[in-house]
Amino acid sequence: MHDRVDEALAGLSIEHLRGRRLATLSGGERQRVQLAAVLAMRPQVVALDEPTSQLDSEGADAVLAECAMLAATGRAVVVAEHRLELLVPAADRLLLVEDGRVAETTRDALRGPASVRPDRSFDGAEIAWEARGVVAGFGPEPVLRDVSLAGFRGEVVAVLGPNGSGKTTLLRTLAGLLAPLAGTVLRPAGRTAYLPQNPGALLHLPTVREEVALTLRRTGSGEDPRTMLAAFGLEGLAGRYPRDLSSGERQRAALAATLAGSPTLVLLDEPTRGMDSAARRSLAAAVAALAAAGSAVILATHDRELAAELADRSIEMVDGRAIELAAPEWRDGAVAAIADATPAAASEPSR
């Protein structure tokens, strides 16, 4: 068993996590540890449900390399995934599951156009949020190191970076859920809406409709819950118990409950996790509407296509430090990555 554990950790490039407590790992790091635990058992059939949904590019590459190794040694590997840019070129066969039916499909049928948001100017705009010299984290080693950032009303900021770089810690600190060890955080008047990586942390009422209605009551909004339910395609699920839904459906329900009631600051941690293309379009429309109404939006994501489509500006987290990326640098890189990947052949958060 010791040899198997060593093999699984090495295969997924996570030997450095061997002595870490699980509670200190990021969502993506936990995902890779969970997969390593499965692979250590050397199964003959491997079925993976959204294995790369929270992983950075290095982690996703490691998972796909492990899948290829398993297939090469005679194991059967089946992967259910919405994040297709890396998976599709590596797959031997493609199956499309839709409305309960399964059919063979092709690479060309899965190809989708990339959309990039035009540059907007925020000269003279009102600052909505700010972090000044923020140090934050757990234990003796901080996760964030002297982070100073600011954002404007109506601006959408993408936070990029590898697993464990501090993206979630930054959002939790900006949300007020984690007190900084040093420095200050300024937030706008009004409600701050925070979507964690685990949507189940927000969902506890008997129906999806009641989740959205609760947010609207707390904010004093007169908005009809059906408006937000319709925005995320949840009308048919409004009477369902949220924890009985699929991962992608729970994510949409959590987004609807989080974004209802016109928040002034919106913090979204991996918002496209488990989402299909229709749900992604709903998210993009909701974020655009919030920004147009003056909300400041910050989304932490590994999805560079989403960042290129929605964000006015991008920040790269590297070892707990925030680096501003010039628009041409990150947008051109994201669009190039999308083009290259499109194959021609072959603590309980509040809301």
Tokens for 85?
């840019």
In this structure, what are the phi and psi dihedrals at residue 289, rounded to the nearest 5 degrees?
-65, -40
Q: Compute the Cα dihedral for 35, 40, 42, 43 and give only its sign.
A: negative
328 has a pLDDT exceeding 60: no
pLDDT, average across residues 64-84: 86
Q: Do 127-341 and 2-110 fall under one CATH topology?
A: yes
pLDDT, average across residues 104-123: 73
Share of the chain above pLDDT 70, in %: 90
Q: Which CATH number fits domain 127-341: 3.40.50.300, 3.30.460.10, 3.40.50.10420, 3.30.420.40?
A: 3.40.50.300
pLDDT tens for 4-61 read 999 889 988 889 999 998 888 887 888 889 889 988 988 899 998 888 877 777 788 8
Highest averaged pLDDT of the listed ranges 10-14, 18-22, 213-217, 278-282: 213-217
Share of the chain above pLDDT 90, in %: 47
pLDDT, average across residues 186-201: 91
Q: Is 205 exposed, middle or buried (0-12, 13-18, 19+ CB in 10 A)?
A: middle
Assign 196 a pLDDT band (cuts: 50, 70, 90).
Answer: very high
CA distances from 215 to 7, 26, 90, 223, 237 (A): 47, 28, 43, 10, 18
Q: How far apart are CA 215 and CA 260, in angstroms?
A: 6
Q: How far apart are CA 296 and CA 93, in angstroms?
A: 42
Which CATH homologous superfamily contains domain 2-110? P-loop containing nucleotide triphosphate hydrolases (3.40.50.300)
340 has a pLDDT exceeding 50: no
Cβ-Cβ contacts under 8 Å for 98 (sequence gap 6 or more): none
pLDDT tens for 284-307 read 999 999 999 999 999 999 888 888
Apex 173 CA angle, 172 and 174, nearest 5: 90
**Domain-by-domain residue ranges, the chain?**
2-110, 127-341
pLDDT value of position 116: 63
pLDDT value of position 112: 58
pTM, 2 dp: 0.72
pLDDT tens for 116-147 read 666 788 888 899 999 999 999 876 788 999 99
pLDDT, average across residues 303-328: 85
pLDDT tens for 250-263 read 999 999 999 999 99
Among the ranges given (101-115, 158-172, 283-297), the one the predictor scored with the smallest mean pLDDT: 101-115
pLDDT value of position 122: 86
343 has a pLDDT exceeding 80: no
173 has a pLDDT exceeding 60: yes
Average pLDDT, rounded, for the chain: 85
Tokens for 136?
């934050």
